[in-house]
Amino acid sequence: MSALTLLFAGAVLLALLLKLWLATRQMRHVALHRDRVPAAFAGSVSLQAHRRAADYTLARGRFGLLQAAFSSALLLVWTLLGGLDALNVAVRDTVQPLLGDMGYQLALLAAFAVIGAVLDLPFDLYRTFVLEQRFGFNRMTWKLYLGDQLKGVLVGVVVGLPLAALVLWIMGATGSLWWLWAWVAWTVFQLLALVLYPTLIAPLFNRFTPLPDGELKAQVQGLMSRCGFAAKGLFVMDGSRRSAHANAYFTGLGAAKRVVFFDTLLSKLNGNEIAAVLAHELGHYKHRHVLKRMLLVFGLSLAGLALLGWLASSAGFYTGLGVRPSLDAPNDALALLLFMLALPPFMFLISPLGARLSRRHEFEADAYACAQADGRDLANALLKLHEDNAATLTPDPLYARFYYSHPPATERLAALRAQS
């Protein structure tokens, strides 16, 4: 057994144990605090809402345990137990004689994606039509669900296949520095997606209507010009078609930049609260969080591709992860798939660093919102959204420190109160 096999199996096992341990800690902690609203929220959150949040967190926790166990087992089936090897041999033997090297490699990527999607389908269906349904969040109909799946496949074919073909071509044609060229292509693609996604892809799934003229629009525009933003591109999205969860986001780049409010958000918050939420989002821009995160992602993908460039040329990379490299066909698609499979367990172990950075950014954006709008409005908005999304007010501290991209409500509201 090679060192890589041991390292990989160890990481998969460690990541799984860590996931299960954290999830059980979280569930125990939430169950323990289910029957009492924390003192800080005693006046603003009802016991009924608090219990509903606990039940929702527990239901999702149980589902998460099952999903974590399944995906770790599946990962081992794909790699060390020979699943990807068998798929590779089958696709190579049938497709390569007909469509050549590129056809075979694209077929391998497509077959892997289709099998992965099919295996994920029961989980997705359960989450949407059972779990979310039970707590009253799901608004998705079967017709809409099937339509979404179909559009997702179409986008995957139209966008994913040419991109994959480009990367495979680069890997085959540009020599030992292919990973640098692949990184350039990947980075350009991501920048392009930032411009094209809000204007071309997102409208395939949702309807975006300009924020209607009126009091709210005037208030939002006033805030934006006060903060030094061009007050254009304000949209309302019909998020209520799929889910009762509420949200707002800032997206795009340059002229495609836009602010999107879910209709569910507008129906739940008053004008001042909406302005405070927007001020928080503007805070992310003012502090260049979006740019920093983008640069971090670009840097990490360069490091990842450089690592793959080094690994892909050694036979031990394939055999150590349970796959026999082909002798009379390119192994580039195989290398990409193996890398995508092998990386997540290792990334999971360092993911708390990213969560921590994200929480710091949230505090900074909150502070900006306090300076530009009323911190009490933001606190009220957060509390309403928390209650509405049935997010728990009593997470396990360690769980929150590992996973939470946003600070727990208690910490966030305490910081807001101190500033307003």
Q: Supply the minimum distance, in Å, between the C-beta of residue 361 and Zn ion.
A: 7
Nearer to Zn ion, 277 or 312 (CB): 277
281 catalytic per annotation:
yes
Kindly state the smallest distance separating residue 136's Cβ from Zn ion, in Å: 25
Indicate the residue among 199 and 358 with the shorter CB distance to Zn ion: 358
Dihedral sign (CA 344, 335, 152, 233):
positive
User: Using CB under 5 A, which residues numbered 349 to 388 contact Zn ion?
Assistant: 362, 365
Beta pairing partners, 243: 138
The minimum distance between CB 405 and Zn ion, in angstroms, equals 9
How far apart (Å, rounded) are the C-alpha atoms in residues 204 and 210?
Answer: 16
With tokens 């926790």, the residue in question is 61
- Residue number, 337 or 369, with CB nearest to Zn ion: 369
Q: Which of 399, 406, 403 is nearest to 385 (CA)?
A: 406
Within 13 A of 105's CA, how many CA atoms are on the CB side?
Answer: 26
Strand partners, 250: 259
Our CB check for Zn ion shows the closer of 63 and 249 to be 249
Whole-number minimum distance, CB 188 to Zn ion, in Å?
27
Q: How far is the CB of 25 from Zn ion (least distance, A)?
A: 26
| CB of 365 or CB of 381, closer to Zn ion | 365
> Which amino acid is located at 52 in the chain?
R
Strands 258-262 and 234-237: parallel
CA torsion through residues 289, 293, 299, 302, sign: negative
d(CA 420, CA 412): 13
Catalytic annotation, pick one of 132, 273, 281, 387: 281
Of 60 and 361, the one with the shorter C-beta distance to Zn ion is 361
Q: At its nearest, how many Å lie between Zn ion and the CB of residue 211?
A: 20
Distance CA 282, CA 275 (A): 10
| 3-class DSSP state of 79 | coil
Of 18-77, binders to Zn ion (CB under 5 A) are none
Partners of residue 138 on adjacent β-strands: 243
Which one, 107 or 276, has the nearer CB to Zn ion?
276
At residue 38, φ and ψ (nearest 5 deg) are -55, 145
Smallest gap from Cβ 246 to Zn ion, in A, equals: 14
**Torsions phi, psi for 406 (to 5 deg):** -120, 145
Contacts of 196 (CB under 8 A, 6+ apart): 256
DSSP state of 136: T
Instruction: Confirm if 292 and 262 have CB atoms less than 8 A apart.
Output: no
Dist CA 31 CA 342 (whole Å): 35
> In this structure, what token pair is assigned to residue 223?
């805030």
Contact residues for Zn ion, defined by CB under 5 A:
362, 365
Residues identified as active-site: 281
